[in-house]
Structure 1
Amino acid sequence: MEQPNWPDRILLLLRQGRAPQAEQELRRALQQDPNNPLAHAWLGMALLDQQQLTQGQQEVETAIGLAPEYDFAYYLLSLAHQRQQRLPAAQQAIEQALALDPTDPNYHHLLGQIRFQRGQWEGALRAAEAGLYYDAQHVDCLGLRARCLARLGRPTDAADSLQQALRHDPDDAGTHADAGWVALEAGQHHAALDHFRNALRLNPTSDYAREGLVEALKARYWIYRSFLRFSVWTQGLGDGTRRLMFFGIYILVRFVPLLLPLYLPLVFMSWFADPIFNGLLQLNTYGRHALSEAQRRQALVFMGTVGVGAALLVAAALTDFAWASVLGSSLLMALFPLMVALRPNVAERPRQWAIAATAALLVLGVAGVGLQVLNIEGDLSKGAMGLMFIIWLLFIWGTALS
């Protein structure tokens, strides 16, 4: 869809990252022309830039309803879904944008990003190369191409792609961040730190670089480096293969108990690596400033819940307060869904399920305490504890298989 000439001020505000001011002017424009699809789309972009994802998506969908042939609106819709971790919907939207305009390298880059997030590295590489077909010097596609090549075991080609991007634009923050991720996933966390610092020097507001910096700081701990490399490897497996592998490991441990000391740390790290190591970063001045508000909140809640839960279990072991054991167990069980609910960028439906599971476990824990305090033993008390265990187990396996 051909775009009309927009006031230069609105475009300048969006390019400068001054989304709130752009939003105000776009809303004034919509008061004059409430059915202007371009204004709705640009307003959607301004809202997305302010992390108002639901409202931004609504504006973009309004634009699509008014102009179904507007390819850029589908691109923005894909961005909205991607940022809410709805990757299948994001891929469907960007494919619609490409159906309307297959020549835009930005659309191919976003498709490649989504495929990369889904572990489809060959498909992501094809998307990056398609974008480069239309713009051989598109630095974002060059950076994505490098990340795909590194994941596919072609580090020399990945380095060449990054060098090409840096030759074209040595001050591109995204390329430096891509180089940081490539180095980090290759186990070179010192080099990764340098790249991410350069990226943030060039663009202090880049979440992509900030997230990489946090990962690189956590990778200073060898156990996190090992877990990171394992995670990268499992991402290359298909969803079904990955689920089958973890289920197979669980069955194997059931028959070979000697493997339990290896299995338990893997399970523990898969659930709690982020809050644990984000908590350690809070002790580091540089790391504390690199963490987002959501990451700091998750780490603090984790440490507080573990501390209180463990203290209650210790108190129960040293005294006759059976209620302390019930409440401590409830808190530690609720820790699993609670960490999912507080995880940054988790999709809305998993977050809702996690909140519901957390509430159910805590309510049952309080009910169990009440039964203990009132000296009501027997089937009712055992039923509350049994239901807690069932909810906890269903959430664990439901999350692992989703």
Structure 2
Amino acid sequence: MENQHYLRGVQLFQLGRYQDAISYFKKALQEIPEDFNSIFHLAHCYLSLDDLEKSEEMATALLRIDPDDENAYFLLSQIYFSKSEFKKALEFINKAISIYPYEADFFGQKSYIELNEKKYESSLKFANEGLALEPNNKLCLNARVQALTKLERKEEATSTIENLLEKDPENAYSHANVGWSNLENGNTKGALHHFKEALAIDPNFDYAREGMSTALKSKNFVYSWYLKYSFWMSKKSSKQQWVFIIGIYLAYRFSVKLLSNTEYTFLVIPIIIAYLLFALGGWLMESLSNAILIFDNYGKYLLDRDQQKSGQAFLILVSSAVLALITYGFLGNQYFLLIGFALLCSLIPLPRGFLIETRNKKLFHFGVGIAMLAIAFIGPLFISDLMMIGIGVLILLIAFTWLDNIIK
């Protein structure tokens, strides 16, 4: 007779009540300390609750009990995938497949790993291999949709989407996945429909909430172009991204130098502004889009507390900068020009700081933003050369753009 605590834990697990299920699996383990099934479900509970350390601890315990269990290796692959450690995730799923090469979910997992490594042809190959084993496997179908979308094979992606939703029309993840595919293909209306369906099934599904928020933001002309650029760049490898960014910078430098020696010097300033918008847009766009959604009757409810603070900070800084520059225009006092400049520079680190999850990076964003404003507001009390103070703010901004990718 099976352990009653274990059976109750499984019931709660299937209902998605992971925290409650954990207590029953622990009770089951008090009676049978090395019960494989209890440990296995306990590891999955922790994984579902994003407690990856405890989940990994449980999964490692499974291998001590049975070193050749393919599901334990699959579980470890899922854990390392959640940690974005894709090489280890691939190592463990390959081990699972080598032990039992007839499970479609294993190939779906491998397809997702390749997808995140931007190996889209390979991702499609493994999704198809999984579907050859189980034609209606949801993990493989979802992976196939994403791979085909990245490969811009729209007709095949559409066909797979129809198959996916026909087989499982009440799956929130499938609807959200289709929503993101539509969004990447420029079909905002279709994306909104599927995100709405996903949220109707699971109102707390963050993947769908983020998609709905992004789709609403894409109605804004500026953000829609930024989103197209983001999707385009996301398909490129890190090396290709750097080649493109460096190429744009060299083209910008060459254009400015060339125009400076001609009668078309009036074009230099628009080119500089365009380049700065391109270079700094990644830091500005999320906060700008959150500010836009604050005024949307429906979109404002999709913003979490930090996103609201980010949008509010963006609006306050922009409004203050405009007010300072207007005051400078009327009074001609360069102090207000300095304040306006510092406020615009602080738009890069400060509002985005609310969106950062890691403590060190969040402190870095807030620290640099506050330092910029402190230099501008307090600096004139000690230094009479306002130009020098402005250069100090600019140096901080440049340093921020370089260090932001280094600090974790």
What is the TM-score of this pair, normalised by structure 2?
A: 0.78
Q: How far 1:29 sits from its partner (Å)? A: 3.9
1:346-382 deviations in Å (ceiling 9; x for gaps): 6x5xx6345346436645864786665356989x989
Aligned to 1:229: 228
- 5+ residue gaps, structure 1: none
* Aligned-residue identity in percent: 24
Moved more, 200-209 or 289-298: 289-298
State how 1:173-184 maps to structure 2 within 5 Å: 173-184=172-183
* CA–CA distance in structure 2, aligned partners of residues 204 and 181 of structure 1: 17
1:71-128 deviations in Å (ceiling 9; x for gaps): 4444444444444544455444544544444433333323323332343222221231
Give the superposed CA RMSD: 4.0
Moved more, 98-107 or 308-317: 308-317
Are 1:264 and 2:263 counterparts? no
Q: How far 1:146 sits from its partner (Å)? A: 1.9
- 5+ residue gaps, structure 2: 257-266
* CA–CA distance in structure 2, aligned partners of residues 376 and 31 of structure 1: 73
Are 1:285 and 2:297 counterparts? yes
The one-letter code matched in structure 2 to 1:166 is L
SS in 2 for 1:137: coil
Aligned to 2:363: 355
Are 1:138 and 2:129 counterparts? no
State how 1:297-312 maps to structure 2 within 5 Å: 297-307=309-319
The answer on whether the counterparts of 1:80 and 1:90 sit within 8 Å (CA) in structure 2 is yes
Are 1:296 and 2:296 counterparts? no
* CA–CA distance in structure 1, aligned partners of residues 320 and 355 of structure 2: 21
Q: How far 1:31 sits from its partner (Å)? A: 4.8
Pair member with larger Rg? 2
1:394 aligned residue (397, 402, 405):
402
The one-letter code matched in structure 2 to 1:119 is K
Aligned to 2:18: 19
Q: How far 1:137 sits from its partner (Å)? A: 0.7
The one-letter code matched in structure 2 to 1:265 is L
* CA–CA distance in structure 2, aligned partners of residues 292 and 268 of structure 1: 24
Asked which structure has the greater RCO (Cα within 8 Å, sep 6+), the reply is: 1
Q: How far 1:6 sits from its partner (Å)? A: 7.7
Moved more, 24-33 or 278-287: 24-33
Q: How far 1:152 sits from its partner (Å)? A: 1.3
Q: How far 1:135 sits from its partner (Å)? A: 1.3
Q: How far 1:68 sits from its partner (Å)? A: 5.0
What is the count of residue pairs matched by the alignment? 393
Q: How far 1:283 sits from its partner (Å)? A: 2.2
Change (3 A) 1:151 1:299: same
Q: How far 1:273 sits from its partner (Å)? A: 1.6
The one-letter code matched in structure 1 to 2:247 is G
* CA–CA distance in structure 1, aligned partners of residues 18 and 143 of structure 2: 26
* CA–CA distance in structure 2, aligned partners of residues 260 and 381 of structure 1: 22
State how 1:101-120 maps to structure 2 within 5 Å: 101-120=100-119
* CA–CA distance in structure 2, aligned partners of residues 216 and 171 of structure 1: 21
